[in-house]
Structure 1
Amino acid sequence: MTLGLDDEDRRTASRLLAEFFDRYEQSVATAPIVPQVDRDVLAGLLADPFPDKGIGVEGLFRAINEKILPNSTKVAHPRFLAYVQGPPNGVAPYAEAIAATINQNCNFWQLSPAASVIERAVVSWLAGLFGYGEASGGILTSGGSVASLHALTTALHERRPEFRAAGLQTSGPALVVYTSGEAHRCIDKAVAILGLGLDNVRHIATDSGHRMRVDALAEAVRADRAAGREPFCVVATTGTVMSGAIDPIGPIADLCEREGLWLHIDGAYGGLFVLADRVHPAFDDCRRADSIALDPHKLLFAPLEAGCLLVRDRANLARAYAFKSAYLTVEDDPLMVDYMDFGPQLSRGFKALKVWSALQAFGVDSYRGVIDQVLQLAEHLRRRVEEDPNLELMAPVTLSAVCFRIKGWTEAQHAAVRATLAEDGTALLGPARLGGRHGLRACVTNYRTTYADIDLVVDRISELASCAS
């Protein structure tokens, strides 16, 4: 018995995989965005037992093409605009296949010497985008949510050095975390996982542009100190998930320095817009943050999963996560990083290869151009909304998220529009909820999207609005 492929099967698998890549690439722009789910097929995938005798390479590809692909959402479609999720770049599938083939375990460097250096190179490049210096470091994660969880863990260990021995909240006042009322829910989830308690999260009010109000933040910190609690961490956002708002990082950093608070930036959606000259100044003060969460599987168009945590001082990561064990002893090497000391995982895949490969294959300038194009498309959508008498913006367009509504329409009516757009293949849009109002949200994070796609979406929404009035 074997789990390998013979020469003929390997040639067959290579041919079928290449054909799959080609067909998907050629059809993705015209395929339905949301599948008409065949529930019988999916129920069969769940209920049918795995075969005692395998179906072979050709049978496997037939099952993928006939059962899995038709029931999969086409997230690479140019009018998939509901979420902050772009298509994978063109070289990514090949990099993923290579990573699976060599199967490096990116924990301590002897198991993955080249992978250790590749991850270090990717992290160093990302850190440099934000002006972090030689003392900085980081680690690739599954996504921005886990990166922010690791950031709060690191901040907790920095604040309470005795945490490992004493446990949580046993050696001092209750620790308090501050974040925007528009922050991603992953911050609340991280607080809950760490046992800090949701009662110790302050959701700070936002201004008319949906940015954290620094005066309200200062007042909340003052009130908690007066009540005997211990403020310890502020989470600011460079690109809120709903409207793309960027919190005032400089003034928040000033407050954190005065008050002795860890400053974490959730840049999972918007952080990598730092590559675009037109918005780069908005990220200048990020260098003052203690940690930053990013998502290369968004604006670097890496396939899932690829997040990243950056820290201004990598020694803080090691203090939080490094443990010694005789069976994992390895010689220190200044060229290498033992990533098992920078996060909770021991077994780790070679996530960095797909990010590194695309940067090598396409070059940084290509990314700058694509990200700038994404911003231009969002601006085009903003102009189309402003010019249409049926529509109105719900928030300033800071990055690539555009929240707008049909004038006078209810939440249910907007939901019906979204359903119609999905059913007739026009686009997949998300709901917008801002300031007590409801509408539509389109987020451009796709290098395949064109001006014609944006026009098609706006024209169809305007048509639906006019027909109903």
Structure 2
Amino acid sequence: MNHDDLNHWSKRAADWVTDYHRSLRDRSVRADLTPGAIAAQLPREAPDAAEPMEQIFADFERIVPQGMTHWQHPRFFAYFPANASPASMLAEQLANAMACQGMLWQTSPAATEIEQVMVGWLREALGLPEGFVGTIHDSATTATLSAILTMREQAMEFQGNIKGMHGHAPLRFYASAQTHSSVDKAIRVAGIGQDNLAKIATDTSFSMQPEALRAAIVADQAAGMLPAGVVLCAGGTSIGAFDRIAECIAVAKAHGLPVHVDAAWAGSAMICPEFRDLWKGVEDADSIVFNPHKWLGAQFDCAIQFLRDPTAQVKTLGLRPAYLETAGREEIVNFNEWTVPLGRRFRALKLWFTLRAYGLDGLRARIRNHVAWAQESALALAAIPNVKIITQPILSLYSFALPDDIKTENLLNRINDDGRIYLTQTRHEGRYVIRVQVGQFDCTREDVMMIPRIVAELIGQ
């Protein structure tokens, strides 16, 4: 295949994409397959001779779509969305065509400088103060790992990377049980050890209790441990919980601890000023992550980490051997030094296209609709006999259940086997509940109101 062939097949692919998106509402949201069904359709070994693109594309059409769970389906209400607006898809095609490796400023100046500007646009859009800078990671998991590693090094006076952890007082980190499992993973990968992540008690709103945080820090200090950092939750994955950001940051600062705020999902909603009370005080955090790929239409992967001061993170993660130097530009920003991977995709391009193609007002309207439709669907579900709303909507996320776990799990299986909508589960206070999250880029009110309609239909059977 050469570039002339690419021109022909790109047009064919564009036609396929149009047909695919037009047909999504007619497809089952979740793939209805048994494990191994797709692999069984592929040869066991790669071909020795080149095969015609006609056959390759035909095999794609025959095998792949029916083996996918359709994340862009307008009735995908599971997990969190992985939005892919048309403008973002177009930008990704262009970024893929240029296929740059943006590890250094000099390897693609536009990739670095557009990233800097996009971080600035979004900082202002979210209402964060001037002075915050940032970078684009692949996901919030990487951003949180970067923050944890930085906190570790700050606590160890930047000796951990050099001398290791052996012989040092145990480091302690603090988070609530509502934080994402990526925090636990970061603690493990950073060598802190799971036992040294203290899960702080929450109140009746499932928000971290500032007094409990203070007590844990004081107790650990008295026990000869070294408190190193706090991770706060702004829109937890399970039920959407928010920690009491301002109060918890005040406790952390009183003990000299840096704070990372995980707003991976809910951060996008902060482009709407009326929702910002939910993370009041976030401007005093040291690090904040949110994912435009979850709710702003930017295609996965795209996670922004804002930093009050990048110096400590660059000191933690930056390495500059001779082959990565830029002659005569020692102070230039090289974003590979801000994160774990050396290699970097041109992720900023899809933000540039998306923010311009829809405008902040267009994106705000979508988010406001999703929040309103989630609340309306929860009210409709609550009116169905035996259905109880377990956690009320926080932004566009809520949960519901039937009177016992077995009935709830059976209902969820029937919903997803039906195929018209896709929901997932979580456990809340030991109870199995069905989780609803509204946020797919192209969903409508009618799509969202399918949730109570289908639940009522299946319960009535």
Q: 2:341 aligns with which of 331, 341, 345?
A: 345
Partner residue, 1:21: 17
Partner residue, 1:266: 262
User: Tell me, what secondary structure is at the counterpart of 2:136?
Assistant: strand
Q: Indicate how the Cα distance of structure 1 residues 128 and 163 shifts in structure 2: closer, same or farther if over 3 A, else same.
A: farther
Q: 1:438 aligns with which of 429, 432, 437?
A: 432
Q: Is the 8 A contact 2:102 2:108 kept in 1?
A: yes
1:78 aligns with 2:69: no
Write out aligned runs for 1:320-469 (5 A).
Answer: 320-331=316-327, 337-406=333-402, 408=403, 410-467=404-461
Please, what TM-score do these two structures have when normalized by structure 2? 0.94
Partner residue, 1:165: 162
Unaligned runs of 5+ residues in structure 2 are: none
Task: Tell me which amino acid in the other structure corresponds to 1:144.
Answer: A
Task: Tell me which amino acid in the other structure corresponds to 1:163.
Answer: G
Give the deviation of 1:447 after TM superposition. 2.6
How far apart are the structure 2 equivalents of 1:428 and 1:43? 24
Q: Is the 8 A contact 2:74 2:443 kept in 1?
A: yes
How far apart are the structure 2 equivalents of 1:224 and 1:430? 37
User: Tell me, what secondary structure is at the counterpart of 1:111?
Assistant: coil
Q: Indicate how the Cα distance of structure 1 residues 81 and 122 shifts in structure 2: closer, same or farther if over 3 A, else same.
A: same
Give the deviation of 1:105 after TM superposition. 1.1
Q: 1:292 aligns with which of 284, 288, 291?
A: 288
1:223 aligns with 2:219: yes
Q: Is the 8 A contact 1:178 1:217 kept in 2?
A: yes
How far apart are the structure 1 equivalents of 2:252 and 2:160? 22
How far apart are the structure 2 equivalents of 1:169 and 1:375? 49
Partner residue, 2:2: 4
Runs of 4 or more consecutive aligned structure 1 residues displaced over 6 Å after TM superposition:
none
Q: Indicate how the Cα distance of structure 1 residues 281 and 325 shifts in structure 2: closer, same or farther if over 3 A, else same.
A: same
Give the deviation of 1:283 after TM superposition. 2.7
Q: Indicate how the Cα distance of structure 1 residues 231 and 16 shifts in structure 2: closer, same or farther if over 3 A, else same.
A: same
Partner residue, 1:103: 99
Task: Tell me which amino acid in the other structure corresponds to 1:89.
Answer: S
Partner residue, 1:43: 39
How far apart are the structure 1 equivalents of 2:204 and 2:300? 34
Give the deviation of 1:144 after TM superposition. 0.8
Give the deviation of 1:47 after TM superposition. 4.2
Write out aligned runs for 1:75-154 (5 A).
Answer: 75-133=71-129, 135-154=131-150
Q: Deviations over 1:102-149 (max 9, x none)?
A: 111111111101111111112222333455555432221111111101
Q: Is the 8 A contact 1:265 1:292 kept in 2?
A: yes
How far apart are the structure 1 equivalents of 2:409 and 2:129? 47
Q: Indicate how the Cα distance of structure 1 residues 46 and 147 shifts in structure 2: closer, same or farther if over 3 A, else same.
A: farther
Q: Deviations over 1:335-378 (max 9, x none)?
A: 95211221222221111211221112221221111111111111
User: Tell me, what secondary structure is at the counterpart of 1:394?
Assistant: strand
Q: Indicate how the Cα distance of structure 1 residues 327 and 11 shifts in structure 2: closer, same or farther if over 3 A, else same.
A: closer
Partner residue, 1:239: 235
Q: Deviations over 1:232-268 (max 9, x none)?
A: 2111111010111111101011101111111110111
Q: Is the 8 A contact 1:96 1:353 kept in 2?
A: yes
User: Tell me, what secondary structure is at the counterpart of 2:281?
Assistant: helix
Q: Deviations over 1:25-74 (max 9, x none)?
A: 10112211112227675123554322222223322221211111111111
User: Tell me, what secondary structure is at the counterpart of 1:261?
Assistant: coil
User: Tell me, what secondary structure is at the counterpart of 1:182?
Assistant: coil
Query: Once structures 1 and 2 are overlaid, which stretch shifts more, 453-462 or 229-238?
Result: 453-462
Partner residue, 2:204: 208
Q: Is the 8 A contact 1:178 1:201 kept in 2?
A: yes
How far apart are the structure 2 equivalents of 1:329 and 1:255? 41
User: Tell me, what secondary structure is at the counterpart of 1:251?
Assistant: helix
Partner residue, 1:182: 178
Partner residue, 1:68: 64
Q: CA RMSD in A?
A: 2.0
Q: Is the 8 A contact 1:377 1:451 kept in 2?
A: yes
1:304 aligns with 2:277: no
Q: Is the 8 A contact 1:212 1:247 kept in 2?
A: yes
Q: Indicate how the Cα distance of structure 1 residues 135 and 332 shifts in structure 2: closer, same or farther if over 3 A, else same.
A: farther
Give the deviation of 1:229 after TM superposition. 0.9
Q: Indicate how the Cα distance of structure 1 residues 354 and 56 shifts in structure 2: closer, same or farther if over 3 A, else same.
A: farther
Between Structure 1 and Structure 2, how many residues are aligned? 460
Q: Is the 8 A contact 2:25 2:73 kept in 1?
A: yes
Q: Indicate how the Cα distance of structure 1 residues 323 and 10 shifts in structure 2: closer, same or farther if over 3 A, else same.
A: closer
Q: Is the 8 A contact 1:245 1:399 kept in 2?
A: no
Query: % of aligned pairs identical?
Result: 27
How far apart are the structure 1 equivalents of 2:370 and 2:205? 21
How far apart are the structure 1 equivalents of 2:131 and 2:159? 23
How far apart are the structure 1 equivalents of 2:137 and 2:350? 13
Q: Deviations over 1:179-238 (max 9, x none)?
A: 111111111110000100111111112222221122221221121112111112111111
Q: Is the 8 A contact 2:426 2:435 kept in 1?
A: yes
Q: Is the 8 A contact 2:290 2:303 kept in 1?
A: yes
Query: Once structures 1 and 2 are overlaid, which stretch shifts more, 297-306 or 263-272?
Result: 297-306
How far apart are the structure 2 equivalents of 1:346 and 1:293? 20
How far apart are the structure 2 equivalents of 1:332 and 1:466? 73
How far apart are the structure 1 equivalents of 2:374 and 2:90? 30
Partner residue, 2:244: 248
User: Tell me, what secondary structure is at the counterpart of 1:234?
Assistant: strand
User: Tell me, what secondary structure is at the counterpart of 1:92?
Assistant: helix
